[in-house]
A and B are shown apart, each in its own frame.
Chain A
């Protein structure tokens, strides 16, 4: 079994109020060196065997159309294991 990992993050210029709330909580808990947090999503997509490069390209298409909204988000795709 192998996994394709898709990570989705808000673009830098898009306000991330969740990340800001997490960042504020970390500072409150004493992690004073933290200067900021951005929160994103990670998708672990399982395949029966190591995916072919065509299959990875298919997942890139899925990331672009479904998993990420490219108006506000960026994504990365990589194979793991």
Chain B
């Protein structure tokens, strides 16, 4: 099963994302920002990093890249997309997900292992988690504070679209401690912490992150 990983100028975590896909049993396919060719992949990961140097706003310029035009059209037809960190910011800037990510409330760049609760295990990216499973994966960003208006927040909570929530002390000022959300259909998920850095205990704080990648592979095979 082929899963694409997009490389933008300034992407950092595309290799780790590809490695996570392979470790979960899939085939990772490298996609280039400046092409609109999705190379017949069945799903796409938008990796972390600092696309276009975070100029203007994080993810703003990347959201107009040729590959994003194809991804937006496909995602609106149910194509699975996972945006991690900068990928989450790109999904918000592309309006595939509501809201925006702003500067951490304490202004510091954070890099730490973060506990999360998986609050929705019905999405194609989280189906392998137990209900309300607690996981530990790295969080590393400067602009990870999830913001939206009251109406959007009520919709996200009411429709069970909060995928993951921070546990413990609020790391960045996100509304309702939101760490990840999905679109209405559940095929597009944005997540601020990094599952691709926690796929084996040798190099990560846990192997909890691997479940995001095994989940999508199982979901695709089951179709």
Stretch from B18-26, B77-85, B98-106, B179-187 contacting the other chain: B98-106
Chain B residues engaging chain A, CB cutoff 8 angstroms? 56-57, 60, 64, 92-93, 98-100, 102-107, 145, 147-149, 173
Q: Is the CB of B145 within 8 A of A15?
A: yes
Do A17 and B147 touch (CB < 8 A)? no
3 tightest A-B CB contacts, nearest first: A72-B100, A71-B100, A17-B107
Q: Which of A10-32 contact B (CB under 8 A)?
A: 10, 13-15, 17-18, 21
**From residue A65, how far is it (CB to closest CB) to chain B in Å?**
8
Q: Report the separation of the CA atoms of residues A66 and B57 in the bound assembly, to the nearest whole angstrom.
A: 9
Q: Are B173 and A15 in contact (CB under 8 A)?
A: yes
Contact B147 A72 (CB under 8 A): yes
Interface digits, A50-81 against B, CB 8 Å rule (1 contact, 0 not)? 00000000000000001101011000000000
The answer to whether A69 and B93 have CB atoms under 8 Å apart is yes
State A25–B142 Cα separation when bound (angstroms): 20
- Asked if A17 and B100 make an inter-chain contact with CB atoms under 8 angstroms apart, the answer reads no
Q: CA separation between A15 and B103, bound complex, in Å?
A: 9
| Complexed CA–CA distance, A12 and B105 (Å) | 15
Asked if B147 and A15 make an inter-chain contact with CB atoms under 8 angstroms apart, the answer reads yes
Given the complex, which residues of A lie within 8 Å of B103, measured CB to CB? 17-18
- Whether B99 lies near A17 (C-beta < 8 A) is no
- Check A15 against B57 for contact (C-beta < 8 Å): no
Give every chain B residue within 8 A of A17 (Cβ-Cβ).
103-107, 173
A72, B102: Cβ atoms closer than 8 Å: yes
Q: A18 and B107: CB pair below 8 A?
A: yes
Query: Which A residues are in CB contact (< 8 Å) with B64?
Result: 66
Q: Which residues of B contact A67 (CB under 8 A)?
A: 56
Complex CA distance for A13 and B151, rounded to whole angstroms: 14
14 pairs, A vs B, C-beta closer than 8 Å: A15-B145, A15-B147, A15-B173, A17-B103, A17-B104, A17-B105, A17-B106, A17-B173, A18-B103, A66-B56, A66-B64, A67-B56, A71-B147, A71-B148
Report the nearest B residue to A43, measured CB to CB.
Answer: B56
Q: Known: A72-B100, A72-B102. Contact between A14 and B60, CB under 8 A?
A: no
